[in-house]
Amino acid sequence: MPIEVILAAGRRPVDLNNLFITHPQPGGLVERAEQTGFPRNMCAWVKGIYTVVQTEGIHTVVATTEGDCSNTRSLIEMLQMGGTGVIPFGYPYGGDEGLLDDQLQRFCRVFGATMDEAEAKRRELETVRDRAREIDRLTCETGQVTGEENHLWLIRCSDMFGDPADYARRADKFLKEARLRECVDRFPRIGFVGIPPICSGLFEFMEEQGAQVVFNEMQRQFSMPYRCKSLLEQYRRYTYPYDIFFRLEDIRQEVRRRRIDALVHYVQSFCFRYVQDCIIRERVGVPVLTLECDRPGPIDSRAMTRIEAFLEMLRGVSGAAAEGVKGRHAV
Ligand code: SF4
């Protein structure tokens, strides 16, 4: 969501995904939505967001009607039925610049801000976003930031705790501490692609098993990793709302730049993006482990076993290659 517009209008952005997943009982929020009538075979993120809007007394939401989630329409219909106001924002298919510009201008008008004010806010946020870029650099270049920490700091750029100055203060404190840590460079170097995981403990478990998580694809996108000259350019380069082939260009580039040995593709149960798994596997050029999860909570033993087997396989391939045997990179 272009938070620059919301901030330029003097409002505080709140990412409902963050509100849901940091709730003391996120699983209970999902169950409450099911009691209201949401089917079990629907994505738990959608159900959690629905309930959090009710429980937090939110009167109006901004909904990404194009480019994000195929379930958004039914979610906003349910919210509207309960009296919640909806402000739509749509990323045009194919990233047409004229249509995206129209959306940004319209979004400014709805919030009573001008494009100039929103651009000024974008320039102001650049120095805050630089902190996120530095946290990401310490993840992939020196290993002083863990995969979990990277995930949390980058994903939080979606609303910056509602206050960019607060984000900057907290990030400065974190960076000061992280820079004092020892550098880490372990094998295998793992990248995560796909939706941010709904389950907890995934990154820690991976790192406990000796792997190093050096890339979180979507979380990095939420941080707006490139310095741009305009809001239009920034939200055009943002890969998340556009097609999988555009995302793949970014993923392949980061696989090379970060010396990634293998990827974990996290897929959310009942998410339309699941089908992109076969394209990612086909086109990404490194081994891929696909992990699926349904509800909030710790990762289950099946996921743990699959991660262990995957890491063992990578180490086996690497060992065989070192001995001059041609390893086959397939999972
Ligand atoms: S995981 Fe998929 S289905 Fe669920 S909210 Fe995200 S995009 Fe929508």
State pLDDT tens for residues 243-275. Answer: 999 999 999 999 999 999 999 999 999 999 999
Q: Whose CA is nearest to atom 7 of ligand 1?
A: 69
Percentage of residues in the chain having pLDDT higher than 70: 97
Region 198-222: mean pLDDT is 97
Mutate to test the pocket of ligand 1, among 30, 53, 65, 69 (most ligand atoms within 8 A of CB): 69
Neighbours of 288 (CB within 10 A): 20
Which one, of 227, 109, 159, lies nearest residue 3 by Cα? Answer: 159
User: What local confidence, expressed as pLDDT, does residue 324 receive?
Assistant: 61
Domains of the chain are 3-115 (3.40.50)
User: What local confidence, expressed as pLDDT, does residue 192 receive?
Assistant: 98
Region 8-37: mean pLDDT is 96
Q: What is the mean pLDDT of the chain?
A: 95
Q: Ligand 1 atom closest to Cα of 46? A: 5
Say whether pLDDT at 329 is over 80.
no
Q: Whose CA is nearest to atom 3 of ligand 1?
A: 271
Note the pLDDT tens digit of each residue in 293-321.
999 999 999 999 999 999 999 999 877 77
- Residue partners of 232: CB distance under 8 A and separation at least 6: 97, 100, 101, 104
Say whether pLDDT at 330 is over 60.
no
Region 279-301: mean pLDDT is 97
43 C-alpha to ligand 1 centroid (Å): 6
Task: Give the pLDDT band (50/70/90) at residue 325.
Answer: very low
- Phi and psi, residue 192, nearest 5°: -105, 130
Say whether pLDDT at 115 is over 80.
yes
Say whether pLDDT at 326 is over 50.
no
Helix then strand then coil, % of the chain, to nearest 5 = 55, 10, 30
Region 190-211: mean pLDDT is 97
User: What local confidence, expressed as pLDDT, does residue 331 receive?
Assistant: 40
**What are the beta bridge partners of residue 253?**
none
Q: Give the Å distances, CA to CA, from 177 to 134, 138, 208, 284, 299.
A: 13, 12, 21, 35, 29
Length of the chain, in residues = 331
Q: Give the Å distances, CA to CA, from 230 to 87, 102, 131, 247.
A: 23, 14, 19, 21
> Radius of gyration (Cα) for the chain, nearest Å?
20
Note the pLDDT tens digit of each residue in 123-173.
999 999 999 999 999 999 999 999 999 999 999 999 999 999 999 999 999
Region 88-111: mean pLDDT is 96
Say whether pLDDT at 177 is over 60.
yes
Mutate to test the pocket of ligand 1, among 195, 247, 277, 291 (most ligand atoms within 8 A of CB): 195
Give residue ranges with CB within 6 A of ligand 1. Answer: 43, 45-46, 69, 71, 195, 268, 271-273
Note the pLDDT tens digit of each residue in 24-70.
999 999 999 999 999 999 999 999 999 999 999 899 999 999 888 88
